[in-house]
Amino acid sequence: MATGKTFYLKTFGCQMNAHDSEKVIGTLEQQGYRQVESEEEAGLILYNTCSVRDKAEQKVFNRLNDAKKLFKTGARFGVLGCVAQQQGEKIFERAPFVSLVSGSASYRNLPKMLARLEAGERRITGLDGCQSGETFETGFTARQNPYRGYITIIEGCDNFCSYCVVPYARGRERSRGSASVLAEARRIADLGYTEIQLLGQNVNSYRDPEGKRSFAELLAAVGEVAGIRRVRFMTSHPRDFTREIVQAIDAVPTLCDHVHLPVQSGSSRILQLMNRGYTREDYLERVSWIKAARRPIALSTDIIVGFPGETPSDFNATMELLAQVEYDSLFGYKYSSRPDTPASTMADSVSESEKAARLQVLLDRQRESQRISYSKQLGQILEVMVEGVNPAREQIIGRSSQNKPVNFTCAQPITPAPGSYLQVKITATHPNSLAGEAV
């Protein structure tokens, strides 16, 4: 490889992908590679991809097209992740200069694939591990986040929501043993991290292959690891969300008072078409458990508008759900068809303009709801974990246990390090953040 064993890695998509990249970086470094800051410096250029939405997939191919000129200088290209698993060898046809295509379930074979690449092979694929039942565990994780340690406890998905490519791109559900998870949590604590985030496409669908702990029990056990002050988890599926999870949050102070529980639609009819596995009433029952907790738990969600067959009445049901639940934050999306999913064969009956209009109504309503929700914390003193600094505004950036962004000032002459904790009095509120002063 012309410019030596150097690599550049760009990550697209979710926190699962970001943590996968940490594992890939660690594996590459163990094979003698050195990470560089730009494609121009790299002998090996890797893109870790997402295919959940069409725009994320297009970003990857646009980036490949922009960088292909570097192939003439000796750089080699690899496409990793969900797009690689889903598109497979079609990527070689679309981008002939790519040499490596590997899905996330095949990352354990990266050392062998890299050796073949170094030996001069032009087209190498790693696409055969998606249904193996194995998880990608490595002792070589290169943790890139300075204040939060990620642990993947379950990979894949068995739900087969009609709009979603994850079961095809990530495979069926595969859980790690609880002993392995706790051992990694202790290693993270020994490295000086005080916050852990447990990851999974459906993190609360976790099934301990050792039969020792439920998800709620594992959550509590991680929260009791010495040195850990905060534990988060992402993303929960309503079907597998239990009372025991709320009870664990109430019982273990280190478990953050925030739950992300994607509803996708407030209409039971649309939820059935989406194959979500629960009704509006089932979802609201889970919300009632969260609202009844002894400490206030912030609740966030995902919503898709314009799903095939969504009528104005169905959309109104979603808006009514918004008013009833009063979410602390929301991620809203227009439906986009993904290849090979059952929904891709349904008539896309909602126009793009109507999807855009519904999304705007949704976001406007949520913004007002958040303005009211955030204003309730005016005058409170919150523990905030420092994440960085905004020099333009001379503010410190942090996050509360409820996962709310907090921008604040500090009278101390020394800027607190990322990962440190401060008590902050909230002096102003905004729809998407809190502002205050360290006390």
Separation between Cα atoms, residue 359 and residue 332, nearest integer Å: 7
CATH topology of domain 381-438: OB fold (Dihydrolipoamide Acetyltransferase, E2P) (2.40.50)
**Residue 279: cis peptide before it, omega within 30 degrees of 0:** no
One DSSP character per residue, 284-320 reads HHHHHHHHTSSS--EEEEEEEES-TT--HHHHHHHHH
The C-alpha angle 15, 300, 295, rounded to 5 degrees, equals 110
Q: 392 with 328: CB under 8 angstroms?
A: no
> pTM (2 decimals)?
0.85
In angstroms, how far is CA 231 from the centroid of its own chain?
Answer: 15
CATH architecture of 6-126: 3-Layer(aba) Sandwich (3.40)
In this prediction, residue 1 carries a pLDDT of 44
Over the chain (439 residues), what is each successive 10-residue block's mean pLDDT? 76 82 89 93 91 74 88 90 85 91 84 91 79 56 84 92 88 91 95 95 95 97 98 96 98 98 98 98 98 97 98 98 97 91 92 97 97 96 95 90 96 84 97 95
The residue extents of the domains of the chain are 6-126, 381-438
Q: Among candidates 12, 196, 240, which has minimal Cα distance to 104? A: 12
In this prediction, residue 130 carries a pLDDT of 52
